Structure 1
Protein backbone atom coordinates (compact mmCIF):
# COMPACT_ATOMS: atom_id res chain seq x y z
CA UNK A 1 0.00 0.00 0.00
CA UNK A 2 2.83 2.40 0.75
CA UNK A 3 4.37 1.88 -2.70
CA UNK A 4 1.02 2.54 -4.44
CA UNK A 5 0.56 5.67 -2.32
CA UNK A 6 3.99 7.01 -3.42
CA UNK A 7 3.21 6.28 -7.06
CA UNK A 8 -0.12 8.14 -6.86
CA UNK A 9 1.52 11.13 -5.18
CA UNK A 10 4.30 11.16 -7.80
CA UNK A 11 1.76 11.01 -10.62
CA UNK A 12 -0.27 13.82 -9.06
CA UNK A 13 2.82 16.03 -8.78
CA UNK A 14 3.79 15.23 -12.38
CA UNK A 15 0.31 16.16 -13.64
CA UNK A 16 0.35 19.45 -11.72
CA UNK A 17 3.83 20.28 -13.06
CA UNK A 18 2.88 19.46 -16.64
CA UNK A 19 -0.31 21.50 -16.38
CA UNK A 20 1.65 24.47 -15.04
CA UNK A 21 4.28 24.12 -17.77
CA UNK A 22 1.70 23.96 -20.53
CA UNK A 23 0.11 27.18 -19.32
CA UNK A 24 3.50 28.90 -19.33
CA UNK A 25 4.15 27.72 -22.88
CA UNK A 26 0.80 29.11 -24.07
CA UNK A 27 1.81 32.73 -23.67
CA UNK A 28 5.26 32.24 -25.18
CA UNK A 29 4.03 29.97 -27.93
CA UNK A 30 3.88 30.58 -31.62
CA UNK A 31 0.27 31.39 -32.51
CA UNK A 32 0.41 30.58 -36.24
CA UNK A 33 2.09 27.42 -37.49
CA UNK A 34 5.28 28.17 -39.39
CA UNK A 35 9.03 27.80 -39.10
CA UNK A 36 10.45 30.49 -36.87
CA UNK A 37 12.28 32.95 -39.12
CA UNK A 38 15.89 33.80 -38.38
CA UNK A 39 15.46 37.59 -38.55
CA UNK A 40 13.98 39.67 -35.76
CA UNK A 41 10.30 40.28 -36.15
CA UNK A 42 8.15 43.35 -35.56
CA UNK A 43 7.54 43.86 -31.81
CA UNK A 44 5.02 45.94 -29.94
CA UNK A 45 1.67 46.03 -28.17
CA UNK A 46 -1.57 44.92 -29.79
CA UNK A 47 -3.71 48.06 -29.48
CA UNK A 48 -6.64 47.33 -31.81
CA UNK A 49 -8.37 44.48 -33.59
CA UNK A 50 -10.54 44.25 -36.70
CA UNK A 51 -11.64 40.67 -37.40
CA UNK A 52 -8.49 38.57 -37.83
CA UNK A 53 -6.27 41.66 -38.13
CA UNK A 54 -4.44 43.36 -35.28
CA UNK A 55 -2.75 46.75 -35.01
CA UNK A 56 0.67 46.48 -33.36
CA UNK A 57 2.56 49.60 -32.25
CA UNK A 58 6.18 49.56 -31.15
CA UNK A 59 6.76 51.96 -28.19
CA UNK A 60 10.40 52.47 -29.26
CA UNK A 61 10.32 55.49 -31.53
CA UNK A 62 12.74 56.76 -34.12
CA UNK A 63 13.78 60.41 -33.81
CA UNK A 64 13.77 62.23 -37.14
CA UNK A 65 13.92 65.73 -35.65
CA UNK A 66 17.54 66.29 -36.75
CA UNK A 67 16.52 65.76 -40.40
CA UNK A 68 13.84 68.48 -40.27
CA UNK A 69 11.24 65.76 -40.43
CA UNK A 70 8.72 64.59 -37.88
CA UNK A 71 10.50 64.36 -34.54
CA UNK A 72 8.95 61.05 -33.42
CA UNK A 73 7.99 58.10 -35.56
CA UNK A 74 6.41 55.07 -33.87
CA UNK A 75 6.46 51.95 -36.06
CA UNK A 76 2.89 50.66 -36.42
CA UNK A 77 1.40 47.94 -38.65
CA UNK A 78 -1.87 46.16 -39.19
CA UNK A 79 -1.22 42.41 -39.43
CA UNK A 80 -3.77 40.15 -41.09
CA UNK A 81 -3.92 36.41 -40.32
CA UNK A 82 -3.73 37.07 -36.57
CA UNK A 83 -6.79 35.50 -34.89
CA UNK A 84 -5.38 34.87 -31.40
CA UNK A 85 -3.42 37.70 -29.73
CA UNK A 86 -5.64 39.82 -27.50
CA UNK A 87 -5.55 43.58 -27.25
CA UNK A 88 -2.96 44.48 -24.64
CA UNK A 89 -0.59 41.60 -25.52
CA UNK A 90 3.06 42.26 -26.25
CA UNK A 91 3.94 40.34 -29.42
CA UNK A 92 6.68 39.67 -31.93
CA UNK A 93 5.43 39.07 -35.46
CA UNK A 94 7.18 37.75 -38.54
CA UNK A 95 5.61 38.25 -41.97
CA UNK A 96 5.41 35.86 -44.89
CA UNK A 97 7.73 38.06 -46.96
CA UNK A 98 5.05 39.39 -49.29
CA UNK A 99 5.11 43.12 -50.13
CA UNK A 100 3.85 45.35 -47.36
CA UNK A 101 1.55 48.31 -47.89
CA UNK A 102 3.28 51.47 -46.73
CA UNK A 103 0.64 54.03 -45.80
CA UNK A 104 0.85 54.68 -42.07
CA UNK A 105 0.18 52.44 -40.29
CA UNK A 106 1.61 49.78 -42.60
CA UNK A 107 -0.12 46.53 -43.50
CA UNK A 108 1.34 43.04 -43.71
CA UNK A 109 0.32 39.39 -43.44
CA UNK A 110 1.49 37.64 -40.28
CA UNK A 111 3.07 34.25 -40.67
CA UNK A 112 4.36 33.67 -37.15
CA UNK A 113 3.28 35.35 -33.92
CA UNK A 114 4.98 34.94 -30.54
CA UNK A 115 3.05 36.30 -27.55
CA UNK A 116 4.98 37.31 -24.42
CA UNK A 117 3.67 36.30 -21.02
CA UNK A 118 1.95 39.29 -19.40
CA UNK A 119 3.37 40.55 -16.14
CA UNK A 120 1.21 39.76 -13.14
CA UNK A 121 2.61 41.63 -10.12
CA UNK A 122 2.16 40.34 -6.59
CA UNK A 123 -1.19 41.36 -5.18
CA UNK A 124 -2.71 42.22 -8.57
CA UNK A 125 -6.00 40.72 -9.76
CA UNK A 126 -5.32 41.77 -13.35
CA UNK A 127 -2.35 41.07 -15.56
CA UNK A 128 -0.51 43.86 -17.35
CA UNK A 129 -2.32 42.78 -20.54
CA UNK A 130 -5.71 43.13 -18.82
CA UNK A 131 -4.80 46.58 -17.46
CA UNK A 132 -3.68 47.82 -20.88
CA UNK A 133 -6.91 46.55 -22.44
CA UNK A 134 -8.97 48.31 -19.76
CA UNK A 135 -6.99 51.53 -20.31
CA UNK A 136 -7.51 51.39 -24.07
CA UNK A 137 -11.27 50.82 -23.60
CA UNK A 138 -11.55 53.74 -21.14
CA UNK A 139 -12.97 57.06 -22.33
CA UNK A 140 -9.48 58.63 -22.32
CA UNK A 141 -7.93 55.68 -24.17
CA UNK A 142 -10.61 55.66 -26.86
CA UNK A 143 -9.70 59.28 -27.74
CA UNK A 144 -6.26 58.17 -28.98
CA UNK A 145 -6.19 57.35 -32.71
CA UNK A 146 -3.10 55.08 -32.70
CA UNK A 147 -2.16 54.35 -29.06
CA UNK A 148 1.48 53.96 -28.07
CA UNK A 149 1.82 52.15 -24.73
CA UNK A 150 4.83 53.82 -23.13
CA UNK A 151 4.66 52.53 -19.57
CA UNK A 152 2.50 50.35 -17.31
CA UNK A 153 2.82 50.47 -13.51
CA UNK A 154 0.92 48.76 -10.71
CA UNK A 155 0.63 50.32 -7.24
CA UNK A 156 -0.31 47.47 -4.92
CA UNK A 157 -0.88 49.85 -1.99
CA UNK A 158 -3.87 51.49 -3.65
CA UNK A 159 -4.74 48.69 -6.11
CA UNK A 160 -4.42 50.85 -9.22
CA UNK A 161 -2.70 50.44 -12.57
CA UNK A 162 -1.32 53.48 -14.39
CA UNK A 163 -1.06 53.19 -18.17
CA UNK A 164 0.91 55.94 -19.87
CA UNK A 165 0.24 56.30 -23.58
CA UNK A 166 0.39 58.84 -26.36
CA UNK A 167 -0.99 59.12 -29.86
CA UNK A 168 1.43 57.87 -32.55
CA UNK A 169 -0.19 60.35 -34.97
CA UNK A 170 1.17 63.25 -32.90
CA UNK A 171 4.84 63.30 -33.76
CA UNK A 172 6.20 66.07 -31.58
CA UNK A 173 8.12 65.64 -28.35
CA UNK A 174 5.85 68.20 -26.71
CA UNK A 175 2.67 66.15 -27.19
CA UNK A 176 1.34 65.40 -23.73
CA UNK A 177 1.38 61.90 -22.45
CA UNK A 178 -2.03 60.51 -21.48
CA UNK A 179 -2.17 58.83 -18.12
CA UNK A 180 -5.05 56.40 -17.56
CA UNK A 181 -5.78 54.98 -14.10
CA UNK A 182 -7.34 51.52 -13.98
CA UNK A 183 -8.71 50.04 -10.78
CA UNK A 184 -7.36 46.52 -10.22
CA UNK A 185 -10.56 44.48 -10.18
CA UNK A 186 -11.82 41.96 -12.72
CA UNK A 187 -10.00 41.52 -16.04
CA UNK A 188 -11.61 43.22 -19.05
CA UNK A 189 -12.38 40.96 -21.99
CA UNK A 190 -12.06 42.10 -25.60
CA UNK A 191 -14.95 44.06 -27.03
CA UNK A 192 -16.36 42.79 -30.29
Structure 2
Protein backbone atom coordinates (compact mmCIF):
# COMPACT_ATOMS: atom_id res chain seq x y z
CA UNK A 1 0.00 0.00 0.00
CA UNK A 2 2.79 2.41 0.92
CA UNK A 3 4.58 1.65 -2.35
CA UNK A 4 1.40 2.49 -4.31
CA UNK A 5 1.12 5.87 -2.57
CA UNK A 6 4.76 6.72 -3.31
CA UNK A 7 4.27 5.69 -6.93
CA UNK A 8 1.08 7.78 -7.22
CA UNK A 9 2.80 10.85 -5.73
CA UNK A 10 5.71 10.42 -8.15
CA UNK A 11 3.35 10.29 -11.13
CA UNK A 12 1.48 13.41 -9.95
CA UNK A 13 4.76 15.33 -9.48
CA UNK A 14 5.94 14.25 -12.93
CA UNK A 15 2.67 15.38 -14.55
CA UNK A 16 2.70 18.72 -12.75
CA UNK A 17 6.28 19.41 -13.76
CA UNK A 18 5.30 18.99 -17.41
CA UNK A 19 2.86 21.92 -17.13
CA UNK A 20 3.94 25.54 -17.13
CA UNK A 21 5.84 28.10 -19.13
CA UNK A 22 8.15 27.15 -21.95
CA UNK A 23 10.74 29.25 -23.70
CA UNK A 24 10.04 29.36 -27.41
CA UNK A 25 13.21 29.64 -29.44
CA UNK A 26 12.05 27.69 -32.48
CA UNK A 27 9.82 30.12 -34.34
CA UNK A 28 11.02 30.90 -37.86
CA UNK A 29 10.52 34.14 -39.69
CA UNK A 30 11.32 35.33 -43.17
CA UNK A 31 12.75 38.79 -43.60
CA UNK A 32 13.32 40.06 -47.13
CA UNK A 33 13.23 36.55 -48.57
CA UNK A 34 15.85 34.98 -46.32
CA UNK A 35 14.87 32.49 -43.68
CA UNK A 36 16.10 33.31 -40.21
CA UNK A 37 15.34 31.77 -36.86
CA UNK A 38 13.39 34.21 -34.75
CA UNK A 39 13.65 33.68 -31.06
CA UNK A 40 12.94 35.68 -28.01
CA UNK A 41 16.57 35.79 -26.94
CA UNK A 42 18.70 38.92 -26.75
CA UNK A 43 19.87 38.52 -30.37
CA UNK A 44 16.60 38.12 -32.25
CA UNK A 45 12.99 38.75 -31.44
CA UNK A 46 9.69 37.62 -32.91
CA UNK A 47 8.97 39.36 -36.23
CA UNK A 48 5.51 40.03 -37.60
CA UNK A 49 2.72 42.54 -38.11
CA UNK A 50 0.69 44.05 -35.27
CA UNK A 51 -2.87 43.00 -36.11
CA UNK A 52 -4.70 43.79 -32.86
CA UNK A 53 -4.25 45.99 -29.81
CA UNK A 54 -6.02 45.45 -26.50
CA UNK A 55 -4.97 47.97 -23.86
CA UNK A 56 -1.20 47.53 -23.41
CA UNK A 57 -1.23 44.21 -25.30
CA UNK A 58 -0.34 43.79 -28.98
CA UNK A 59 -1.00 40.72 -31.12
CA UNK A 60 1.92 40.11 -33.47
CA UNK A 61 1.46 37.55 -36.26
CA UNK A 62 4.25 36.20 -38.44
CA UNK A 63 3.52 36.11 -42.19
CA UNK A 64 5.48 32.84 -42.47
CA UNK A 65 3.39 29.68 -42.73
CA UNK A 66 4.36 26.42 -41.08
CA UNK A 67 3.02 23.03 -42.15
CA UNK A 68 2.48 20.58 -39.29
CA UNK A 69 0.09 18.29 -41.21
CA UNK A 70 2.63 15.45 -41.32
CA UNK A 71 2.37 15.19 -37.52
CA UNK A 72 -1.41 15.61 -37.38
CA UNK A 73 -1.30 19.38 -36.87
CA UNK A 74 -2.58 22.19 -39.06
CA UNK A 75 -1.33 22.62 -42.60
CA UNK A 76 -1.46 26.43 -42.49
CA UNK A 77 -0.10 27.49 -39.10
CA UNK A 78 0.97 31.10 -38.55
CA UNK A 79 2.90 31.83 -35.34
CA UNK A 80 1.16 34.51 -33.27
CA UNK A 81 1.99 36.04 -29.88
CA UNK A 82 0.15 38.43 -27.57
CA UNK A 83 2.73 40.69 -25.90
CA UNK A 84 1.78 42.49 -22.65
CA UNK A 85 3.25 45.81 -21.51
CA UNK A 86 3.89 47.07 -25.03
CA UNK A 87 4.72 50.72 -25.70
CA UNK A 88 1.75 53.01 -26.38
CA UNK A 89 3.26 54.32 -29.64
CA UNK A 90 2.83 50.95 -31.41
CA UNK A 91 -0.11 50.84 -33.84
CA UNK A 92 -2.01 48.20 -35.80
CA UNK A 93 -0.31 47.69 -39.15
CA UNK A 94 3.29 48.15 -38.01
CA UNK A 95 5.83 45.45 -38.78
CA UNK A 96 7.75 44.91 -35.56
CA UNK A 97 10.34 42.78 -33.85
CA UNK A 98 9.48 41.98 -30.24
CA UNK A 99 11.62 40.40 -27.54
CA UNK A 100 9.82 38.59 -24.73
CA UNK A 101 10.96 39.38 -21.20
CA UNK A 102 13.41 36.67 -20.18
CA UNK A 103 12.63 34.85 -23.44
CA UNK A 104 9.59 33.28 -21.76
CA UNK A 105 6.35 32.58 -23.60
CA UNK A 106 3.23 30.84 -22.32
CA UNK A 107 2.21 27.97 -24.53
CA UNK A 108 -1.15 28.70 -26.09
CA UNK A 109 -2.37 29.90 -29.44
CA UNK A 110 -1.69 32.68 -29.75
CA UNK A 111 1.23 32.39 -27.37
CA UNK A 112 1.57 35.02 -24.64
CA UNK A 113 4.47 36.88 -23.11
CA UNK A 114 5.60 40.18 -21.69
CA UNK A 115 7.29 42.59 -24.11
CA UNK A 116 10.81 43.44 -23.03
CA UNK A 117 11.56 45.50 -26.12
CA UNK A 118 9.69 46.42 -29.31
CA UNK A 119 11.40 47.67 -32.46
CA UNK A 120 9.49 48.94 -35.50
CA UNK A 121 10.95 47.29 -38.61
CA UNK A 122 8.83 48.85 -41.29
CA UNK A 123 7.11 52.18 -41.06
CA UNK A 124 8.36 53.52 -44.34
CA UNK A 125 6.78 56.08 -46.58
CA UNK A 126 7.66 55.52 -50.20
CA UNK A 127 8.70 58.57 -52.18
CA UNK A 128 5.63 60.44 -53.38
CA UNK A 129 3.16 58.58 -51.14
CA UNK A 130 0.85 60.15 -48.61
CA UNK A 131 0.49 57.06 -46.43
CA UNK A 132 3.09 55.16 -44.48
CA UNK A 133 3.08 51.39 -45.07
CA UNK A 134 1.71 50.82 -41.55
CA UNK A 135 -1.19 53.21 -42.23
CA UNK A 136 -2.09 51.30 -45.39
CA UNK A 137 -2.01 47.98 -43.50
CA UNK A 138 -4.10 49.49 -40.69
CA UNK A 139 -6.74 50.72 -43.17
CA UNK A 140 -6.82 47.32 -44.89
CA UNK A 141 -7.27 45.43 -41.61
CA UNK A 142 -9.89 47.93 -40.42
CA UNK A 143 -11.91 47.37 -43.61
CA UNK A 144 -12.38 43.68 -42.83
CA UNK A 145 -15.15 42.30 -40.66
CA UNK A 146 -13.49 39.75 -38.44
CA UNK A 147 -14.75 37.78 -35.46
CA UNK A 148 -13.34 38.83 -32.11
CA UNK A 149 -11.68 35.42 -31.61
CA UNK A 150 -10.02 35.49 -35.06
CA UNK A 151 -7.12 37.54 -36.33
CA UNK A 152 -5.65 38.58 -39.65
CA UNK A 153 -2.41 37.40 -41.16
CA UNK A 154 -0.71 40.05 -43.29
CA UNK A 155 1.27 38.19 -45.97
CA UNK A 156 2.67 41.04 -48.05
CA UNK A 157 2.39 44.76 -48.72
CA UNK A 158 3.10 46.40 -52.11
CA UNK A 159 2.83 49.92 -53.45
CA UNK A 160 2.00 50.70 -57.09
CA UNK A 161 3.23 54.25 -57.83
CA UNK A 162 1.52 54.43 -61.23
CA UNK A 163 -1.92 53.82 -59.69
CA UNK A 164 -1.14 55.43 -56.30
CA UNK A 165 -2.48 52.30 -54.60
CA UNK A 166 -1.23 50.13 -51.75
CA UNK A 167 -2.16 46.44 -51.97
CA UNK A 168 -2.20 44.57 -48.68
CA UNK A 169 -2.42 40.78 -49.02
CA UNK A 170 -4.32 39.31 -46.05
CA UNK A 171 -5.30 35.70 -45.44
CA UNK A 172 -8.95 34.75 -45.20
CA UNK A 173 -10.45 33.36 -41.96
CA UNK A 174 -9.45 29.78 -42.83
CA UNK A 175 -5.87 30.88 -43.61
CA UNK A 176 -6.01 29.02 -46.92
CA UNK A 177 -6.62 31.87 -49.35
CA UNK A 178 -5.24 35.38 -49.86
CA UNK A 179 -7.44 38.47 -50.08
CA UNK A 180 -5.84 41.45 -51.86
CA UNK A 181 -7.09 44.69 -50.30
CA UNK A 182 -6.37 47.91 -52.14
CA UNK A 183 -5.90 51.15 -50.22
CA UNK A 184 -5.84 54.40 -52.13
CA UNK A 185 -2.94 56.71 -51.46
CA UNK A 186 -4.76 59.77 -52.85
TM-score by length of 2: 0.70
Deviation at 1:69, TM superposition (A): 2.2
Matched, 1:142 2:135: no
Structure 1 residue runs of 4 or more that deviate by more than 3 Å after TM superposition: none
1:125-171 Cα offsets, whole Å, 9 max, x none, are 10111100000111xx233721111111111112111110114x635
Deviation at 1:123, TM superposition (A): 2.1
TM-score by length of 1: 0.68
Matched, 1:51 2:55: yes
* Higher helix fraction (1 or 2): 1
SS in 2 for 1:154: strand
Choose from 138, 154, 159 the match for 2:159: 154
Deviation at 1:58, TM superposition (A): 0.6
Which ranges in structure 2 are unaligned for 5 or more consecutive residues?
1-40
Mapped to 2, the partners of 1:107 and 1:94 lie a distance apart of 12
Mapped to 2, the partners of 1:182 and 1:120 lie a distance apart of 14
Mapped to 2, the partners of 1:142 and 1:184 lie a distance apart of 22
Kindly tell me the number of residue pairs found equivalent between the two proteins.
144
Matched, 1:87 2:92: yes
Deviation at 1:99, TM superposition (A): 4.7
Which ranges in structure 1 are unaligned for 5 or more consecutive residues?
1-36, 186-192
Q: CA separation of 1:78/1:40 partners in 2, compared to 1, >3 Å: closer, same or farther?
A: same
SS in 1 for 2:163: coil
Deviates more, 1:143-152 or 1:123-132: 143-152
Mapped to 2, the partners of 1:122 and 1:149 lie a distance apart of 23
* Higher strand fraction (1 or 2): 2
Deviates more, 1:61-70 or 1:85-94: 61-70
The answer to which structure, 1 or 2, has the higher relative contact order (CA under 8 A, 6+ apart) is 1
SS in 1 for 2:134: helix
Matched, 1:100 2:105: yes
Mapped to 2, the partners of 1:147 and 1:65 lie a distance apart of 21
Aligned to 2:31: none
Mapped to 1, the partners of 2:42 and 2:117 lie a distance apart of 12
